[in-house]
Structure 1
Amino acid sequence: ANLARLQAAARGAGSFTVISDDDGMVRSSSLLQQIGDGYYPSLALATAAVYLDAGKLTPDFGEYDADSGAADAIRVVGTRGKRRIPVGLGLLTAVQFRGTGGPQGGAFRYVSAADVLAGRVDPRVLKGAIVLVGTTAPGLQDLRATPVNKEYPGVEVHANVIKSILDQHYKTHPDYASGIEFAQVIVVGLALSLLLPALAPLAAVLTSGFAFAAVVGLNWYAYRALDWTTDMFICLLLVAVLFVLNLAWGWFFEHRKGRALVSRFGEYVAPELVAQMAENPEAYTMEGESRELSVMFVDVRGFTTISEGLSPKALREYINLYLTAMSEDIRGSHQGTLDKYIGDAVMAFWGAPVAFADHASRAVATSLLMQASAARLNEDFQRRGWPPLAIGIGINSGLMHVGDMGSAIRRAYTVMGDAVNLGSRLEGITKVYGVGIAVGEATRLAAPEFVYRELDLVRVKGKNEPVAIFEPLGKPADLDPAVLDELAAWDGALAKVRAQDWDGAQGAIAALHAAHPQRALYTLYLERIAHWRADPPGAGWDGVTTFETK
């Protein structure tokens, strides 16, 4: 108790015990404390009661708490007015902190007690004011940790409570606060649980940040505008946990998808394309679909004779060197998809799984590169005493079905369709015309940057419609002017053939043959002209050569 001399002169007394939360922070103040069999008001409540000239303090039982006997407010009724002070468990009221505390905090005026005793303070400063006498020096141990300042004067805690009582302005934790907290946890939790798994990483970060800010903003609004004290920690923790879990799961899932993609497509496409695909695996699939693609078939000329002339060990090295060189060209700078090896034959395509608008150009450029690689290999093989290497390449472009196809026992990512079959036929036709590469008209139209030699109009086995076939020679800048002159002369000769001008055609082609005796195409057409002279095709001839075999 107070000193008897002080107590005798006082109109009341109050305890100044400060109750801290479990983390050491002071957030609330007890208005009544039980000491023995009696209840005693706090310093703040006793001071406010004196100011209001209150004769009694009355517990106010809430509508839902009356049966438990727990008061949810304390009424102070005096001649100068009455006040209702909301309280929670333990008869605590939340402290509404004004300012950051101390002389510099700006909420309350500080006056030195020494100046008052010495008469250096104008009496008008204290007249009619509620004055709390307390200590603020650190060594006197009345500094408290609060949410606004870790060194907050304890006496100012009481000042804030008194101010709230007189102004009737409290920070309260309403009965339905738990419901609000539970509702925001459910709403935020469900929303993020549904949204985050479906979002890309950046969108997930932004969404989680928005949810975090929304929770803080909602609770801050409740605190500032409605004077509610709500607990948002659980909700913020939930946002963080859901974000981390989705991020971790997303990374793990995407990592597994990326690895699966590498294992599925790693044998087909170049490593750099696999890396590109692994960054966005959901954009690629092995499911069947129809696309505009370019397909290539490659075959070794006279492979049966080659295999008969080599030992098994030498044949294995021969074919391995050849297949490695062709595969590297296909998957190299033009990034083709290596479909399969069919004995000595190679099948590849462009435009899937990674889409290329210039798939035809890539296929043609690769075919020219492969012929150059075959020429280098041929020189090496002949130095070893092996049979010469020559390859034929057929390319066609068009709508194809691409995807994971096969049986329940074995499947492969491949292409099928009429355009694919034509590509295979074109590879076989290269033998007839004595050229290294033959492409369909669709490929020529889709890759106009190359110079082509037209070979013929053909009707391949299995197709009724004729198709023009061409031999790509390279890009104009890479060709010798003599090659372009030869090509112009050939175009004129071919026009004479289709006009059935046998004399003019024979003369033009004979001149080309004399200049280029190694060109089998000219020999073929001289033989055909001789046949047509003996057995004219007639006036209705469409100039198409029909092939009855593959």
Structure 2
Amino acid sequence: MLPGVGALIDRIDLFFYDMRMRIAKVEIDPRIVIVDIDEKSIDEIGRWPWSRDVVAELVRKMTQTYQAQAVGFDVLFAEPDNSSGYARLEQLAQGELKSLPQFGRQLQQLKSQMDYDARFAEALQGQPVVMGYNLSNEQDAIAKGQLPRPVFTTADLGGRRLDVISWKAYGANLPQLQQAARSGGFFNPLLDSDGLIRRVPLLAQVGNGFYESLALASARVALNGKQIKPVFLQNDAVMSDAQLRDYGALDSLAMDVKPEPLFIPVERHLTALVTYRGRGGPHGGAFRYIPAVDILKERIKPGQLSHQIMLVGTTVPGLYDLRATPVSPNYPGVEIHANLIASILDGDFKQRPEFAVGFDLVQIVVIGLLLGLLLPLMGPLWAILFAGASALAIGAFNFWLYNAGGLVLPLAMALILVAALFIFNLGWGYLFEYRNRKAIVNLFGEYVAPELVAEMAANPESYNMEGESRELTVMFSDVRGFTTISEGLQPNELREYVNAYLTAMSEDIRGNRGTLDKYIGDAVMAFWGAPLTLPDHAARAVATALKMQQTTVLLNADFVKRNWPPLKIGIGLNTGMMRVGDMGSKIRKAYTVMGDAVNLSSRLESITKVYGVGILVGQVTRDAAPEFIYRELDRVRVKGKNEPVPIYEPLAHKDEIDADTRARCEQWHAALQMVRSQQWDAAEQAILALQAQQAHGLYGLYLERIARFRQDPPPADWDGVTTFETK
């Protein structure tokens, strides 16, 4: 793992470790009291440091009046107290006033009252008091004061080595004070990489001796313990002799208390994790703060404080021993010791177990397999819910192990893995969907309008190019007299002519959700109803055909200005079942339609010129789009089909047709019925009347047929069907 990644994971794990303590319920611990040298005490007694006779009186009150189990000083007394003037008087007695023996004798009688350090030492004598001191590894640090007796030495280890922090210097208390006290303890914490205090050494090495922390010494004195011993693993078949001599073989520290020894687990460097209780301070912590002046003046009833562990510290600005901790950036240093003492008394230490790495590996494998298999099977919403639920379950299980078993186990990698798998799955799904969308665009972008492609891409799994049978409406459109047009134009002009025509027709088709199939020279093939399902495909096709005829009028206005021949197109429409899909050879394929209904549409387009109309539709198309007005032209039998089919010319939408056109349409249908009933004279008169109103090739066609039928009457079984032998 890269160092930067490892550091990030460690920081995340530390964050979760800190959060566990921030959300923990805070309860006041009645066993430990902080005797606070606060502003109230300084206002009444005077500025700090107080004279040692005041501190001596404070010790007597705590140990005798209030019967403290132990008193720990988170305060250092490294310099002599000369505030009484005794030292100066002693100099005079040995100097300028040496000739006055009576002065010297009188001074000796006053020594017990004026030697405040002696009075302080006298108050400490025989009492359960632990003096605090500081260790240092500064370059220019020197040893000052006197250390307490070590709890054990290197000679006691029998050649074993301990993973412990060694210190070369110290700032300790005056020898007479330390000698009078029951014990002493250092108050040096350890800073993590982020500058916060999460661990405190329980033991430290100075020279050949091992010394207790203030918290450990205070707890030992309170429990009336005499010794602290290291406990090593025995008969460990996994470890070599060399490893057994190192920290890896150390199990815990043992305190010889009654009725059974107390075992204190340790971590690297013989440290213990601090379980912070509350935010700290007089109003946010788990420990009661009592002003020192209230102890001195016995304002607290003895029964309220008897047999408690008292830690002496200060909260005065400028003297406040503030530390940065996971629960507060300004945490009282004295309360760190209080938290450790509470953990020792309860035997409740949070530990990073040796199997933490293995546990992390197992949970990563399990999570990876579980999420790796299940997430791809879920939709986005379920994937979000499942990943979130997994993260909550992992976190809850981790917190349960912390609260129930005191185990500090890795959490960051598991949560990062959940997030990574979720993001990967989301990204892969997005990529897969993007590829599907892109595939849809690539497949259908040439056939349908961009807005339809976007609509299809929103649900790509519903569209493919696989062949299927579906009812569609197909269109064929062709330019009338294209050969003549091409002969009359220069090649560049012809290219512009055709491009203008094809572009305009294609825009009309795609503008009404049609699928552009192909260009066949000057012909255009299109269909409606695939790939996008359109219930009204027939109506859209008819509306498009009418629009294309209107577009030719607009194009012709421009063509005339450019001295180009006018454009006329014929359009055939037919609706029916047909095969649609990707068809062709291994060399080239296209998304197209095939079937009898397609062939009929092509035939209808071919015979538009016979009837002199721009659009022809079949019976099915007419029935599927009843919102238009149609003129029936004939019943025909086209080449390749035996069954006759009615053919119609769509005139306009019912809401858009004018009264004259509607009337002529009805007159024509009456005339057509006369033709089919062989009423030649009446039919001829009706058609001539229509021709007088409006010239149309259809009328001329039927007048020629009437003339031919008069000369050569149809057979008796004539069904009125016109048969076309050519395409």
Residue equivalent to 1:521: 698
The SS at the match of 2:478 is: strand
Residue equivalent to 1:446: 624
Letter in 1 for 2:224: D
Alpha-carbon distance, 1:147 to partner: 2.1
The residue correspondences of 1:63-82 to structure 2 (distance < 5 A) are 67=239, 68-69=243-244, 70-79=249-258, 82=261
Q: In the alignment, which of 540, 544, 553 is matched to residue 366 of structure 1?
A: 544
Q: Does 1:391 align with 2:569?
A: yes
The SS at the match of 1:13 is: strand
Letter in 2 for 1:308: E
Q: In the alignment, which of 250, 255, 280 is matched to residue 101 of structure 1?
A: 280
Q: Does 1:341 align with 2:341?
A: no
Q: Distance in 1 between matches of 2:563 and 2:281?
A: 100
Q: In the alignment, which of 462, 474, 489 is matched to residue 640 of structure 2?
A: 462
The SS at the match of 1:470 is: strand
* 8 A Cα contact 1:65 1:71, kept in partner: no
Residue equivalent to 2:714: 536
Structure 1: unaligned runs, 5 residues or longer: none
Letter in 2 for 1:37: N
Q: Distance in 1 between matches of 2:357 and 2:681?
A: 101
The SS at the match of 1:131 is: strand
For this pair of structures, how many residues does the alignment match? 547
Residue equivalent to 2:214: 43
Q: Distance in 1 between matches of 2:528 and 2:231?
A: 83
Alpha-carbon distance, 1:59 to partner: 4.4
Alpha-carbon distance, 1:325 to partner: 1.5
Change (3 A) 1:40 1:537: farther
Residue equivalent to 1:174: 353
Residue equivalent to 2:202: 31
Residue equivalent to 1:350: 528
The residue correspondences of 1:55-454 to structure 2 (distance < 5 A) are 55-60=226-231, 67=239, 68-69=243-244, 70-79=249-258, 82-137=261-316, 139-140=318-319, 142-194=321-373, 208-245=387-424, 258=437, 261-332=440-511, 334-454=512-632
Q: Distance in 1 between matches of 2:316 and 2:692?
A: 112
Change (3 A) 1:63 1:262: farther
* 8 A Cα contact 2:668 2:690, kept in partner: no
Q: Does 1:546 align with 2:723?
A: yes
Post-superposition Cα deviations, 1:120-174, rounded to whole Å, max 9, x if no partner, equal 4443342111111223456447322222222222222221222222223332333
The SS at the match of 1:294 is: strand
Alpha-carbon distance, 1:447 to partner: 2.5
Q: Distance in 2 between matches of 1:241 and 1:452?
A: 64
Q: Distance in 1 between matches of 2:231 and 2:414?
A: 33
Residue equivalent to 1:10: 181
Post-superposition Cα deviations, 1:220-276, rounded to whole Å, max 9, x if no partner, equal 333344433122112233344445555566666655665565455443332333444
Residue equivalent to 2:193: 22
Alpha-carbon distance, 1:301 to partner: 0.9
Change (3 A) 1:290 1:186: farther
Letter in 1 for 2:592: T
Letter in 1 for 2:214: L
Q: Distance in 2 between matches of 1:82 and 1:228?
A: 22
Q: Does 1:53 align with 2:218?
A: no
Letter in 2 for 1:459: R
* 8 A Cα contact 1:458 1:466, kept in partner: yes
Alpha-carbon distance, 1:298 to partner: 0.6
CA RMSD of aligned residues (A): 3.3
Q: Distance in 2 between matches of 1:359 and 1:152?
A: 77
Alpha-carbon distance, 1:373 to partner: 0.7
* Most deviating of 156-165 and 114-123: 114-123
* 8 A Cα contact 2:664 2:690, kept in partner: no
* 8 A Cα contact 2:636 2:722, kept in partner: yes
* 8 A Cα contact 1:502 1:529, kept in partner: no
Change (3 A) 1:110 1:335: same
Structure 2: unaligned runs, 5 residues or longer: 1-146, 148-171
Letter in 1 for 2:194: D
Q: Distance in 2 between matches of 1:201 and 1:104?
A: 47
The SS at the match of 1:510 is: helix
Q: Distance in 2 between matches of 1:206 and 1:412?
A: 43
TM-score (norm 1): 0.87
* 8 A Cα contact 1:512 1:522, kept in partner: no
Alpha-carbon distance, 1:468 to partner: 3.3
The SS at the match of 1:78 is: coil
Change (3 A) 1:86 1:327: same
The SS at the match of 1:73 is: strand
* 8 A Cα contact 2:579 2:595, kept in partner: yes
Letter in 2 for 1:366: T
Q: Percent identity?
A: 57
* 8 A Cα contact 1:489 1:508, kept in partner: no
Alpha-carbon distance, 1:365 to partner: 1.2
Letter in 2 for 1:231: P
Q: Distance in 2 between matches of 1:548 and 1:536?
A: 18
Q: Distance in 2 between matches of 1:199 and 1:463?
A: 52
Change (3 A) 1:53 1:275: same
Q: Distance in 2 between matches of 1:156 and 1:466?
A: 104
Alpha-carbon distance, 1:105 to partner: 1.4
Q: Distance in 2 between matches of 1:457 and 1:60?
A: 110
Q: Distance in 2 between matches of 1:237 and 1:145?
A: 27
* 8 A Cα contact 2:228 2:254, kept in partner: yes
* Most deviating of 456-465 and 276-285: 276-285
* 8 A Cα contact 2:684 2:703, kept in partner: no
Change (3 A) 1:292 1:157: farther
Residue equivalent to 2:30: none
Higher relative contact order (CA 8 A, sep 6+): 2
Alpha-carbon distance, 1:495 to partner: 4.7
Q: Does 1:502 align with 2:679?
A: yes
* Most deviating of 199-208 and 430-439: 199-208
Q: Distance in 2 between matches of 1:37 and 1:434?
A: 119
TM-score (norm 2): 0.67
Alpha-carbon distance, 1:431 to partner: 2.0
Q: Distance in 1 between matches of 2:376 and 2:318?
A: 55
Change (3 A) 1:22 1:317: closer
Alpha-carbon distance, 1:88 to partner: 3.1
* 8 A Cα contact 2:684 2:706, kept in partner: no
Residue equivalent to 1:483: 661
